[in-house]
Structure 1
């Protein structure tokens, strides 16, 4: 006999009030089945859904007790598709912190459904619900073959003796943060194509919130905040600065035309001497027709057209008490709360409404905020900290992200002349985007200028973007196109492919097999060409094996079970680990070796990956979660390598 009703937990703002089965069914409802095409755990069509605060609860529980179908606390454990919680993202192999993260997203989805009056309608979806469902179990990320953009950075959780420290993936796990030093004040993100509007910057991985910031009562204080926490700057913040997506802003048009004209004049006034040095040694066959696509201006992007037509507006807002700004700030707050599901709502509200923070909003149809950024300027320190960055779900494919970042740069340069750079903490999902926007891991700003002024993430990566005064970021493509055409024009003038020269005299009477030192070739040595440097450069950019290593590393770091293997084991936390494991290895060390070209072959890279898992299995008991994760990850690597070999036998591994 099956239960006559389907019990489902009601809405609650406190995750601690949910039992483990209640968390599991919430996650399972909104998670695609891994064994079939089911979109989430749901009851048979003829079974009504009963909330656990309903008057019909006692009868539903009695039916569940008498049912043959497996239930837990009255909650069905089997979907209509025939699969259970394990296949719907709520299995026993999911760590506690990951389960908390997934539950928080599921709770936010339920809140949206409740607002729409659809909490008990398991077939209802909308754009916001679908967007959040994609984040419960995050997809693997692709890595650029030439670098290590997608570096997973994890935030610390309780360390254990796996093959590496038990660090939680920045997007995938959450953990309780340990604060570092705090200072005197509070402080707390898309390429130009469709990939630009993906979740960015560090995402919150638990409901733990920094102890900084005023709370008037326990009722308004988010869980995890200690009473009496004052308004402070700097220190650790929750692993939460997710940047869901992005959008544009451009209110510096007066200044931009002047900058554009200046750059154009400078390009035209390049001296022949400069161009000679630039094009030295370059030949181009001008006998063939040259396609001058650069002559035509690059097509305008949709956000630029929409802004010119008045469809969207970019507005800078702050908490000055004016009605319009308060409406826009509330729009930003609601946007961030919806797009950053694992961030506590009170925490987002406190930062957005903070009088020390500012925002830039993309507004449609009056005062409807569809995209925005919250930031904290420190002009006396010469930098701006990016805090929140998001685009509404339905506008994530409109190309707003790159336009917003470029507009933001122009606004900051005009509003704060002393600001030289942006700083932000990012996880590996954000790093790729930020690098495309001019950010780098190499922070050149002196530490004493920013340490203690911005919120610090344990395990996250701090990135810096240095502003260039003479660059018009809103017209950078046009400027680069003109510079490229200037160089090509000079090359065409200097190239003389129709002139034939005599060959090298040394080969006229040379015996068979004669080899000539490149330094004896007239002009080659003087040009500065180095065969070894040329070999390294070609290998670094074209080596198919290195590209495969980069892709595999990204997939490893993005795997849902990768959190124990992301960083080295801390010998201070696990003192005896290095006595047992003679050759420790982890994904961050592998990334460093890959970036510095220390893997001669793909097999060497795979050997290190297998070393990570063998170390874990050697140190931990067979029935531990770490050993089980290592076994599954090991299987994943073997299947990945087999698939890659089948696709490309030319790799030679």
Structure 2
């Protein structure tokens, strides 16, 4: 998908900023040649400037045109960008480096290739060592070595380049076991893509990934759907039994080692466009309506309420303390304070709240959906009593279902020690039953549905899709959807969330 014309046409610093999101890696955003879209004449940007300087000057000029958008929003980087930036810092400090290596006979490159051969032999035990040696030292192959400050090779990627075809075949990819799960694999692949783009001038990467590596390559933007013509690669790369052929398209204008800067630029541009059409960033003052219209039900301090007369009461209180014409039974005592001479507060019109209309709110959105609950004797209106009856019936149906046994009671730390580390908001049917007995928790059917949905999502989050618990959650959810379809009739086409299946 393309977001074109992100910036308004009257901006002096940019005429067009195109943002392209790759189908293969939706979380890695690419900006097509932002330099070609800028007017360099009067903004203090030269063609050789760094991307940091371009970003600073670019956004200073943008915010000069619309003062109510200042100050510039502070957008926190995501987990991917944070890890990439941490590794970039290590590179800048000289703690690690990524070297483009080929068998040119130089002692340094031969040392790096030998280190890569040892890592591949250890981390890829199913691969014959003779085959690894032949490919790593082959002069037609290229390698990218991850080297620590001490000169030790701790990871790398070896690929064969086919210049005439414009593609490369990744043969080996590994990081030593003691340095895994630190982001080195992603950073290593990004450097490999950048070397392939700038040094080898490749347009595609192909690789046969085994079952254990498919997930890794998918995270790096590789896809099982090949866009290249078969004639372009067939007969050039090796076929491996049991592997999955995956492809990555190398964009000619993307610097793959500067993803955090590209993502930051894109987020700023999108935020700027959102601010132009929406005022969600505006922080408004709190509502003064409730202080201006006090109510006897307010727990607020009475002396601060307009027209409020209060007296401190000790003991049980009296009619004199409550004010003329009042009695102890009719007085409203909040923490020992009696409030009198306060009428009931009229409802606050929603459209009078600042910012509501700007958020495209319409009066019909405030209308409650009209629905009926269906029981054996027929359909009844959705009164609070009918709601409690329906929820009790739904809970009983769930509890006696043969697929509900994992959800009847809460998961304990003795049974699953790390459960509460992963699941921050646990819930089970026994907790839903206790909430239902309170008769003041599930005031709407939506709240009950939200609790049930959270229980199902917790199960699917903690357990793998192949586990029995995951499958039981799907079956129980289908049963609950069937129950809703049979017992809830929603007459409002615009407000159908109550009867909508999960």
TM, length-normalised to structure 1: 0.35
Bigger relative contact order, structure 1 or 2, given CA contacts below 8 A and separation 6+? 1
- Return the TM-score normalized by structure 2: 0.44
